[in-house]
Structures are given as structure tokens and as C-alpha cells.
């Protein structure tokens, strides 16, 4: 985003989970109650929403509309349920899966952050395993990038985005 601030923005999702240390409302997520989240679902306010680790996450239509009106390309950080929902919508999108090199590497990264308890780590690893299996479905993603080296993964992403948009 720093290299292309006028082109791309990351969608700020809504969530029912509590903020982690250092996270800010409206920057990292829009933190809402379960009731407010369910109201948005009832009002068809999300392009996608899913349950993950016992919490709800969703991308609001208003968030995307606000950014596209500014001429930005909105990037969504979503799980497989979100991918399925957006694929069933009229939204034109490209689907890129950023995968860990292995579940062991992911576990080491999660533990290294020091922000999650054991139960949360196990839920995330289980979900990651499901996501990795889903990523093997033919045609579900346009590109899969292995995040074993941040700079290499970024360069691969940037190359894909710009070669695909020509």
C-alpha cells in the first residue's frame, strides 16, 4: 500500500471479536456487538460475512462503495466462506490465496506474536488447514502465493496484479 497509496486500499472489516493490543477501531477493524453485526446482515449490509474462531467477520457494502468512489481498488482479506459468497455475487473480482509455507511455520508465527491463547491458536490452525484444503479446489483462486519470504511474496503479488490488469 505504501508503494501504491493512490491505487489500492485494504477494506476494513467489521468484527465481533475484541481488539488485540495495539489495534484501533476503524483502522484494523470496525469492532461491533453481535447484535449490531446481525442487524447489518438483516439489512443486507455485507458483501460477505463469516464465522471464524467463534467470532463474526464481514465486509460491508458501504466500505467498498466509499473507496471505489475515490477511485481505489479495494482488497479484501477474507476466509473461504467469504470467497464462496463473493463468487456467487455480481462483484467482479480476482482471488489470490496467500498461503503459509506449512502449518508448522504458521504455528510458529502465531506463537511468536504472543497475542493468542492455546485454544485460539488451535482454532486458527484448524481453520488454516481447512483453508489450505479449499485452496486446492480447481478454479477457486486465480493465484496462490506461498508466503515463505515477505519480499518475494510481495513481488509475486505485485507482478500478478499488474500483468493481469494490462
For residues 38 and 49, give the distance between their C-alpha atoms in angstroms, rounded to a whole number: 10
Nearest to 13 by CA among 49, 48, 59, 47: 59
Q: Which of 3, 25, 1 is nearest to 14 (CA)?
A: 25
Identified catalytic residue from 56, 94, 109, 124: 124
Per the CB < 8 A criterion, the answer to whether 143 and 97 are in contact is: yes
Asked about 94 being catalytic, the answer comes back as no
Q: Determine whether 20 is an active site residue.
A: yes
Q: CB count, 10 Å around CB of 116?
A: 15
Instruction: Name the active-site residue from 17, 94, 109, 113.
Output: 113
SS3 at position 30: strand
Q: Which of 148, 163, 46 is nearest to 105 (CA)?
A: 148
113 in catalytic set? yes
Secondary structure element (H or E) that encloses residue 97, with its range = strand 96-99
Q: How far is CA 119 from the centre of its chain?
A: 21
Catalytic residue among 20, 94, 109, 111: 20
Residues with a known catalytic role: 20, 113, 124
Amino acid at each position: 500500500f505504501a508503494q501504491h497509496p493512490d491505487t489500492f486500499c485494504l477494506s476494513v472489516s467489521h468484527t465481533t471479536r475484541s481488539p488485540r493490543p495495539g489495534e484501533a477501531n476503524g483502522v484494523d477493524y470496525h469492532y461491533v456487538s453481535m447484535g449490531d453485526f446481525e442487524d447489518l446482515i438483516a439489512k443486507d449490509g455485507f458483501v460477505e460475512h463469516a464465522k471464524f474462531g467463534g467470532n463474526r467477520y464481514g465486509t460491508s457494502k458501504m466500505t467498498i462503495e466509499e473507496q471505489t468512489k475515490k477511485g481505489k481498488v479495494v482488497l479484501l482479506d477474507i476466509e473461504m466462506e467469504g470467497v464462496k459468497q463473493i463468487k456467487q455475487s455480481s462483484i467482479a473480482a480476482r482471488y489470490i490465496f496467500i498461503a503459509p509455507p506449512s502449518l508448522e511455520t504458521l504455528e510458529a508465527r502465531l506463537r511468536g506474536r504472543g497475542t493468542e491463547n492455546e485454544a485460539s491458536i488451535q482454532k486458527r490452525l484448524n481453520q488454516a488447514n481447512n483453508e489450505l484444503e479449499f485452496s486446492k479446489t480447481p478454479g477457486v483462486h486465480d493465484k496462490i502465493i506461498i508466503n515463505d519470504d515477505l519480499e518475494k511474496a510481495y513481488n509475486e503479488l505485485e507482478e500478478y496484479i499488474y500483468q493481469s490488469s494490462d
